[in-house]
Amino acid sequence: MRILLSNDDGYFAPGLALLAKTLAPLAEITVVAPERNRSGASNSLTLDRPLSVRRAANGFFFVNGTPTDCVHLAVTGLLDNLPDMVISGINDGANMGDDTIYSGTVAAAMEGYLLGLPSIAVSMARHAPQHFDTAARVVFEMVKRFQENTFPPPVLLNMNVPDIPYEQLKGLKVVRLGKRHKAEPVIKWVTPRNETVYWVGAAGSAQDAGEGTDFHAVEHGMVAVTPLQIDLTQYAQLDALNSWLGL
C-alpha cells in the first residue's frame, strides 16, 4: 500500500512527522507538504506562478504553495506511482463545523478525493495538543481497517480526535458537522510605522453542538468521524428559485 501524507501546518510539523513514523510499518509513505504554515488556505490552488518542490533531510518533500497544491502536484506528476490513499494531518487544532470550509487540512484530503483517491483529514481537537500519539494510533487503526475491508469509494473522512491519552478514548462516533457562532470581530492594530492593520478574529464558539455533531462527540471523549461531500447545491431551493425567476 502507498500512502501520500500532507498537511497545512508545514512539512516540519510534529503531527506530520509522528504520523509518517506511525504508518511506516503499514505502507510506503511519501510526504508532500507546504514549506510553511498554510492554515486557513482552504482549497486554494496556485495558478499565478510556478511551484518549486524541494526535499528535506528527513526525505519529506516540501512545496512553496498550498496544501491543495501539494496533493495536486504529487498525484498528477510528481510521484512515479499513484498513492492508494491520501491522509492530511495530524493538524494542530480542531477542524469541526464551519472550520472545514477554511481548513487547509481538510482541503488537502479533499484534493485527494477529487482526484479519485480515498482520503482522510485528521485533527487534534485543540491547539498545542499533548497527545498527537492518540491521533496517530487512531489513524493507524483506520488504515488497517481500509486494508482489511476497503470502504466503497469514493470516501472523504474528516476526523477530530480529543486531546486525551488513547486509553481514555470512548470510541469512534460517526457524526455530522456542527456549526459555530459567527467569528469574533477583527483586531485592529497600528504598527510602529503608523499603518493600520487587521488580524482576523478568532473562530466563534460552538452553536449547533448537540448530540450527533462532531462538537458533541469530541466533548464526550470520542473520535468524531464525518463523511464529507463536495456538492454545494442547495437542493431545497431549486424549485423556489425556478418559481421566483418565473422559469
Contact 163, 131 (CB under 8 A): yes
In DSSP terms, 156 is beta-bridged to: 119
pLDDT at residue 211, rounded to an integer: 86
Phi, psi at 135, each rounded to 5°: -65, -40
Q: Max alpha carbon distance in the chain (Å)? A: 63
Mean pLDDT by 10 residues, the chain (247 residues): 97 97 97 95 94 96 97 95 96 93 96 96 96 98 94 91 97 90 79 88 68 93 96 94 95
Distance (Å, whole) CA 118 – CA 88: 11
Handedness of CA 18, 19, 22, 23 (dihedral sign): negative
Whether the model pTM is above 0.95: no
For 52, the grid coordinates are: 518549486
Say whether 111 sits in a helix, a strand or coil. helix
Task: Kindly report the three-state secondary structure assignment for every residue of 209-227.
Answer: CCCCEHHHHHHCCCEEEEE
Give, in order, the Cα–Cα distances in Å from 43 to each of 91, 214, 219: 16, 21, 28
Q: How many CA atoms lie within 13 A of 88 on its CB side?
A: 40
Distance (Å, whole) CA 7 – CA 46: 16
pLDDT at residue 200, rounded to an integer: 77
